[in-house]
Amino acid sequence: MQSERFKAPWLKLYLALVFILMYLPIAYLIIYSFNRGATMTAFTGFSWQHYLDMFNDLRLMQILVNTLIIALLSALLATIIGTFGALLIYQMKRTGIKNIFLSLNNILLVSPDVIIGASFLILFTMVGFQLGFGSVLMAHIAFSIPIVVLMVLPRFHDMDTTLIDAAYDLGANRWQVLSRVILPYAWPGILAGFFMAITYSLDDFAVTFFVTGNGFSTLSVEIYSRARQGVDLSINALSALLFVLSLMLVVVYYFIATGVATRSSKKAGHGQLKVVDPQ
């Protein structure tokens, strides 16, 4: 006991150092977004100039809107498709088939995103689908579906089946059982899946980079092409904006996740915000 108490300050110092290193680059980005100068190396004074530049950059604003549309739309569609996919897997009686479906579901979660990007590029080219908004949207829906399934499925498994039997006994038809009993019960998981899908979409670079074609761009792709040309402090301003947005998403998600956890088993996503590396 004593030895542990003696060591504690050093241990905490180490942990503090790790956290400082983790947040230093992010803080650095945001601090320089307020720089009066145009470099990320010398801070010459406070100014909102780069925020003005960012909001006046019509191309960047258009791309920001595109990115948000893609994120919301793909998350919405992935959530709908994924929820019914989870329902299908939940209802499978034979564990062999169930496991096959679960494995198929998880393939895109574990695949490196270069593989997803390259294989989707081949697919879109083979069927003659034009690269642009549509291909990016479809790719984002595709890689968000498995995480929705994984978020929703535990909720179904937690559900007491007597609830469904009771609903049938009371004269509910299939649609009523689904809309009044099953989906409301799974709601926290569905919502969590929706938020995960949004962050997957906002975070993605590699898959989008492969299937985006020439005319259409998302923030990640734009940041990449600008960063290759050097430092541009309106990107810093943008990163500050995105940081606040991420913070808000995390807070919202945290409340959903704790809501899930208090009402069901620990496994239902609590403390496991991101299951698989999304890069």
Single residue of 147, 191, 235, 260 touching another protein by CB under 8 A:
235
Q: Which is nearer to another protein, 199 or 264 (CB)?
A: 199
Q: What residues numbered 142-181 form the site for another protein, per CB under 8 A?
A: 142, 145, 161, 164-165, 174-175, 177-178
22 binds another protein (CB under 8 A): yes
| Cβ-based nearer residue to another protein, 95 or 161 | 161
Q: Which of residues 189-208 bind another protein (CB under 8 A)?
A: 199, 202-203, 205-206
**CB under 8 A: which stretch of 46-54, 56-64, 184-192, 270-278 binds another protein?**
270-278
Q: Which of 124, 145, 169 is nearest to 81 (CA)?
A: 145
- Which is closer to another protein, CB of 71 or CB of 188? 71
Q: Which is nearer to another protein, 58 or 126 (CB)?
A: 126
Binding test (CB under 8 A) with another protein, winner from 6, 9, 25, 128 = 25
List b or e across 35-73, with b for residues whose CB sees 16 or more CB atoms inside 10 angstroms: beeeebeeeeeeeebbbeebeebeebeebbebbbebbee
- The least distance separating another protein from the CB of residue 89, rounded to whole angstroms, comes to 9
Which one of the spans 54-62, 129-137, 184-192, 269-277 is the region binding another protein (CB under 8 A)?
269-277
Question: Minimum CB separation from another protein for residue 226, in Å?
Answer: 9
* Number of residues engaging another protein in binding (CB under 8 A): 91
Please, which of residues 84-123 interact with another protein by CB under 8 A? Answer: 84-85, 87-88, 91, 101, 104-105, 107-108, 110-123
